[in-house]
Amino acid sequence: MQVFHDAATQVQCQSIMDWKQSGRPVVGYTCSYTPGEIFHAADILPVRLRGIETDGMEVGDTYFGPFICSFPKCILQLAGKGKFSFLDGAIITPGCDGMRRLDECWRKAGEDFKGIVPDYFYYFDVPHKSEDHGMSWYMDEINALIEGVERHFQVNITMDKISAAICEFNKGRRLLAEIEDLRAKDDVVVSGTDVFAATVAGTVMPREEYTEALTAWVAELKKQITSLSRGKKRVLLIGSVSDEIDLFQLIEDTGKAIIVGENLCFGIRYEGCEIPETGDPLSALASHYLGSSVCPRMYGKYKERLQLLKDRINHSKAEGVIMQNIRFCDLHGAENALFKRDLEAMGIPCLRVEREYGPHIDAGRMKLRINAFLERIDARKNPQRRRA
Amino acid sequence: MRPEIREYNYDWLMGSTLKAAAAVPSGSKKETEQTYRYIPNYRKVAETFYSAGEPGVLALKLLATYFQNILTAHDRGKPIAATTFCNSPVLLYAMDVVPATFEILTALGGVLWKRGMFDYMDYCCEIGMTETSCSSQRGAMGAVMSGLFESIDFVVCDTPGVCDTNANAFAFVSEYLNKPFFQLNYPSSIGDDRSQNYHVDDYKAMIRFIETQTGKKLDYDRLAEALTEVDRQDALIADLEDMLLLKPMPIPPLFNLALYCGRFCFSGHPEYTRLLESLVRSARQRVSDGVPGLTSGKENLRVFMCYIDHYTVDMNFYNYLEERGIALTGSILTRNFRDNNKYTEDMPGSSYGINLSSPEAMLDTVAQMNARLPMVRSIRGPYDRPGMWLEESLALAKITQADCVIYNGTPGCRNTWGMVKPFARDMERHGYPTHIMYDDAFDDRVESWPGTRERLDEFFHIRGLL
């Protein structure tokens, strides 16, 4: 478990540094629409870029305007401080307006902070729809990405290698799905914090190493019998991008709740779904990464996302949903309002909370609201306590 | 929402006001003066429009008609589509659909109404929309979602990938009111074959969606008529755009607003052609008289608004420019990027042409035209790529001989606030003093108009411009 926590809480974690020391390249990417399998097939380590460990915002605030979410700002801050010096390449995706502007801000910051822009800096243009022409555009983008990676890194990415990469990634996905089943039991033997750490670790660790560690951990979990969920509220955490273990800890450290599932960009939402291992591997990647996307940037698909949320609530037997959004993240902020309206109407208590990403400067306020929410669930379950 | 706001529907209130305002100048000068006594809250706005002469009155009439169309749509058996300013209404009109363009509806309430659109904006937040979302949609949206507007029948937007907050607002309305939704989607590039083909495919999907909603097939004869009118309008716009290059400039600041507001409301409609003809006539008269567009008669400075204007109450922004003798060389909203404009020559792939030779050609025309509307054209990709915001702003600032560049938007505008600082730095490097306004073009509560005015004065003074 420690290896996952190390990978999830340190930008320059040991796994990345070991890989780097072996002389192989590392490419960072900003969004879940980037197929990591392509890089794995080229013996390049794909690392999802994160903004943890920031202790200031002077670089982020210099290039981004004031009304921008703190997640891309934190990434830029780390880039400006040289924390991503291990990167040989970076892929920027128009996941949302803030994230896509990381392209310009990072490049422009590179004019002032020499050497912070990796040699291979690529804009991966992901459409906002998965219908025929959207899918076709995305396929073209994948092909262009492959060509670009081959040319820059002098590698040969064959379809066989991509298929093998899909199989390797799927091993991890199956294991994460097994963990989801464990979390769905009445007696949950694993904390949400640990599961999330393991999931986030999967976005930065070399895949074979990750699969091996995850296999061992799942086997260990299956032997566990001590329930961590007795007397605690089962909650689901959803909303804006988060890779912050602290946020999970904040909720579980109340001692009154256990996170039994999440619907987050870094979470099992994507990592827990398998990709077909037969047929055209590129079509399979496109169908998975674009076609099954449940991000609110895919406008007009609210009902599908609501259904997915309901399924997750049912599967995990969640008693309440905590909906967070980073300030200025309107996509999740507005959608959380609709989720709350619809889920509360079904009798599922929901908490909407706006926050900042990164250092938890408002941890006290968050804790207060989470505690109040957990009491609300409690009062709902035990009406006589509410009357008292 | 305050109870008194619920007394009248926003569209009825604004439509009636504009209808009455447009009729006032039909009387004698004395009657007009008498009317002012009864409309103290509207006097400044009315005077601004009336003093512009025929174009001002025609602009008021056009806006009044826009509201009347919405108010009578359902009685006439026409559906209402909630849409955005960067989605051309040409196709909607050709398919017998009445557009309700949120940003226009919000801006009009802002400039015409003392109380602004604040209550409607806040209503959106009351029901869960984020307060950080764009005010340009939130005003009209609040009226629509609170039931103080004709009910909309479906939603069509075209900003995913260009402006998330815009697209997100329309998606929210659609879900909140349970109305069908369609999004046009633009890639980050423009002008190349791949992007052009994507525009057409997506546009065809939009037509299928509207056909499903209306139960009617697209009538290509009607579309041809509308595009013929657009062709006529583009020629008039080109004349006006040419005159924006003259020094001193014969175009009053208010004409800019009339030009783009008319286009967003009535592109392809004779109503807009009449307004344009009047704007051109009036400007030409000034050229032949050797009189600048500014009423002061002296052009002290030429300003290019690289994004949008300021829609504060009483037309204060436009009046401020008049007072200071500042000629407005346009904003991102002014230009249409038709292929007959000189500024498009240096930007390959930036323009569209009109071809009515076949249904396919017409679809291509309207798709490419739509893709070149403000914001979706040049803010879709990284700002320093060819054909994008920096190149466009530099080309326009240069050709119009602007002395400085001003950015004005809204805090909700994530797509520009994400890079306006490096953009401004690049503009400065090219020799243009560039000012970033931290106000909200639609919401004076973010920064009061006196505060904004002071900051503008400060910029002009410190940079030695005025």
pLDDT over 90 at A362, yes or no: no
Q: Which of A70, A106, A299, A332 to mutate to test the interface with B (most CBs of B within 10 A)?
A: A299
Q: pLDDT value at position B114?
A: 85
Those of residues 94-113 in A touching chain B at CB distance below 8 A are 94, 96-98, 100-101, 103-105, 108
The mean per-residue pLDDT over the stretch A113-142 comes to: 96
Q: Is A61 on the interface with B (CB under 8 A)?
A: no
B226 inside domain: no
Mutate to test the interface with B, among A64, A91, A97 (most CBs of B within 10 A): A97
- Sorting pLDDT into bands at 50, 70 and 90, what band is A360? low
**Residue B19 belongs to a domain:** yes
What is the pLDDT confidence band of residue A273, given thresholds at 50, 70 and 90? confident
| Domain covering A160-387, topology | Rossmann fold (3.40.50)
Q: Indicate yes or no: CB of B414 within 8 angstroms of CB of A328.
A: yes
* Cα–Cα dist B36/B28, whole Å: 13
Q: What is the pLDDT of residues B282-317, one digit of tens each?
A: 999 999 999 999 998 999 999 999 999 999 888 999
Q: Closest chain A residue to B163 measured between Cα atoms?
A: A97
Q: How confident is the model at residue A385 (pLDDT cuts 50, 70, 90)?
A: low
Residues of chain B in contact with residue A123, where contact means CB-CB under 8 angstroms, are 188, 381-382
Those of residues 257-296 in A touching chain B at CB distance below 8 A are: 296
Residue B223 to residues A101, B1, B99, B118: CA-CA distances in angstroms? 37, 41, 16, 38
Which of B163, B175, B382 has the CB atom closest to A97's CB atom? B163
Interchain contact A57–B (C-beta under 8 A): no
Q: Answer yes or no: do A127 and B187 touch at CB < 8 A.
A: yes
A45 Cα to chain B: minimum distance (Å): 26
Q: Which two tokens stand for residue A206?
A: 């070399």
Q: Do A333 and B130 touch (CB under 8 A)?
A: yes
Task: Answer for the pair B323, B289: CB distance below 8 angstroms, yes or no.
Answer: no
B138 contacts in A (CB within 8 Å)? none
Whether the predicted pLDDT of A104 surpasses 90? yes
Beta strand A233-239 with A320-326 is parallel
* Cross-chain Cβ contact A334/B172 below 8 Å: yes
Residue B115 is predicted with a pLDDT of 85
Number of domains in chain B: 1
In chain B, residues with a C-beta closer than 8 Å to the C-beta of A94 are: 161, 188
With CB atoms and an 8 Å threshold, state whether B160 touches A299: yes
Q: Residue A96 has what pLDDT?
A: 96
Provide long-range contacts, Cβ within 8 A and 24+ apart, for B443-450: B443/B110, B443/B116, B443/B117, B443/B118, B443/B121, B443/B135, B443/B410, B444/B110, B444/B116, B444/B312, B444/B313, B445/B118, B446/B135, B446/B410, B446/B411, B449/B312, B449/B313, B449/B316, B449/B317
8 Å CB contact of B128 and A337 = yes
SS3 at position A301: coil
Q: Which of B165, B183, B382 sits opposite A128 (nearest CB)?
A: B183
Across the range A81-93, mean pLDDT stands at 98
Name which of A104, A299, A334 is nearest B129 (Cβ-Cβ). A334
Question: CB contact, 8 Å: A351 with chain B?
Answer: no
Distance between terminal CA atoms of chain A? 43
pLDDT band at A314 (very low <50, low <70, confident <90, very high): very high
CATH of the domain at B54: 3.40.50.11890
In the chain, the amino acid numbered A149 is: V
Is A330 in contact with B181 (Cβ distance < 8 A)?
A: no
Closest A-chain CA to B155 = A300
Exposure of B197 by Cβ count < 10 A (0-12 exposed, 13-18 middle, 19+ buried)? middle
Query: Phi/psi of residue B67, each to 5°?
Result: -70, -40
The pLDDT assigned to A361 comes to 67
Does residue A384 register a pLDDT over 80?
Answer: no
DSSP per-residue codes, B327-386: EE---TTT---BTTSGGGTTSTT--B----SSHHHHHHHHHHHHTTSTTTTTSSS-TTST
Tell me whether residues A296 and B168 touch, CB distance under 8 A.
yes
Closest residue to A330, CB basis, from B157, B168, B194: B168
> Is residue A287 over pLDDT 90?
yes
* Among B455, B191, B230, residue whose Cα is nearest residue B344: B191
Tens-digit pLDDT profile for chain B (466 aa)? Answer: 999 999 999 999 999 999 999 999 999 999 999 999 988 888 999 999 999 999 999 999 999 999 999 999 999 999 999 999 999 999 999 999 999 999 999 999 999 988 889 999 999 999 999 999 999 999 999 999 999 999 999 999 999 989 999 999 999 999 999 999 999 999 999 999 999 999 999 999 999 999 999 999 999 999 999 999 999 999 999 999 999 999 999 999 999 999 999 999 999 999 999 999 999 999 999 999 999 999 989 999 999 999 999 998 889 999 999 999 999 999 999 999 999 888 888 888 899 999 999 999 999 999 999 999 999 999 999 999 999 999 999 999 999 999 999 999 999 999 999 999 999 999 999 999 999 999 999 999 999 999 999 999 999 999 999 9
| Interface touch A133/B382, C-beta < 8 Å | no
What is the nearest CA distance from A186 to chain B, expressed in angstroms? 34
Which residue among A98, A296, A325 sits closest to B414, beta carbon to beta carbon? A98
- Which alpha helices (DSSP H) does chain A contain, by range? 2-9, 14-21, 36-41, 58-63, 70-80, 97-100, 102-112, 132-153, 159-183, 192-201, 207-223, 245-252, 268-271, 281-286, 302-316, 330-345, 363-381, 383-387
To the nearest whole Å, the CA of B381 is away from the closest chain A CA by 9
Task: Compare CB distances from A63 to B381, B383, B422 and report the shortest one's residue.
Answer: B422
Task: Specify the pLDDT at position B345.
Answer: 85
Contact: B382, A94; criterion CB under 8 Å: no
Domain range for residue B99?
Answer: 3-196
Report the distance separating Cα B400 and Cα B328, nearest Å: 10
Q: Do B188 and A125 touch (CB under 8 A)?
A: yes
Residue A140, SS3 per DSSP: helix
pLDDT range class, residue A185, cuts 50, 70, 90: very high
CATH 3.40.50.11890 occupies which residues in chain A? 2-156
Instruction: Please say whether the beta carbons of B65 and B59 come within 8 A.
Output: no
State both tokens at A381. 């379950």
Examine residue B65 and state whether it is found in any structural domain, yes or no.
yes
Are B382 and A123 within 8 A, CB to CB? yes
Q: In chain A, which among 14-53 make CB contacts under 8 A with chain B?
A: none
ipTM of the complex: 0.96
Instruction: Say whether pLDDT at A388 is over 60.
Output: no
Most B CBs within 10 A among A64, A128, A307, A353, hence the mutation to make, goes to: A128
Measured in angstroms, the CA of B391 and the nearest CA of chain A are apart by 14
A2-156 CATH: 3.40.50.11890
| Contact: B161, A128; criterion CB under 8 Å | yes
| Mean pLDDT to the nearest integer, A174-202 | 96
Residue B83's pLDDT is 98
Q: Which residue of A has its CA nearest to B438?
A: A66
Q: Is A239 on the interface with B (CB under 8 A)?
A: no
Q: Please check the confidence at residue A387 and state whether its pLDDT lies above 80.
A: no
Of the candidates B168, B383, B416, which has its C-beta nearest A334's C-beta? B168
Binary contact (B183, A325; C-beta < 8 A): no
In a domain, B68, yes or no: yes
